[in-house]
Structure 1
Amino acid sequence: MRPHTIKSLRKFHGLTQAEFASRIGYARTTISDVENMRKNPSLSLLAAITRQFEITDEFIAFLRSFEKLNGIIHDCTITH
């Protein structure tokens, strides 16, 4: 799971970084560091996210498609 996928998952559930962190038992700063690519997510963090949100491979594929679509829309908005 990539940092952007974690952010997309958090936003999909309508959670702030603090709310997301609380639900998985981590500090908000850890989530911020991962989302901003200052740290790589640990295996224990990924496991906590997977357990809490019942993540499936299909859902990760959906989030990656969503990220890609957001990137395309963002790029079109900037260039056009």
Structure 2
Amino acid sequence: MSDLVRTASRYLDDHWVLKWFALPILFMASMLFALSLVLTPTAGESVQLVGLFVGFSLAVVAVGLALDWAVRSATGWELLESNRGGS
């Protein structure tokens, strides 16, 4: 089991976009979906609400990553540095 945890940890360290953006969005979307199923009368409204949330969230992430790319291209300085450093 510890090998699985270590492998998953290394994978998330290598793919920081998943770790900091995609997984939290999916977690929040699943919580929002569960809550909306309880509060709204139809499943269609729940799916629409969660779809809007996920779409807006991914658009915000895309803008942030594009901004990081633009700053890195223009200046060579990284806004979002990877967790894996040389030390």
TM-score, normalised to structure 1, is 0.37
Structure of higher RCO (CA pairs closer than 8 Å, 6+ residues apart)? 1
TM-score, normalised to structure 2, is 0.35
Which structure's CA Rg is the greater one?
2
Higher helix fraction (1 or 2)? 2
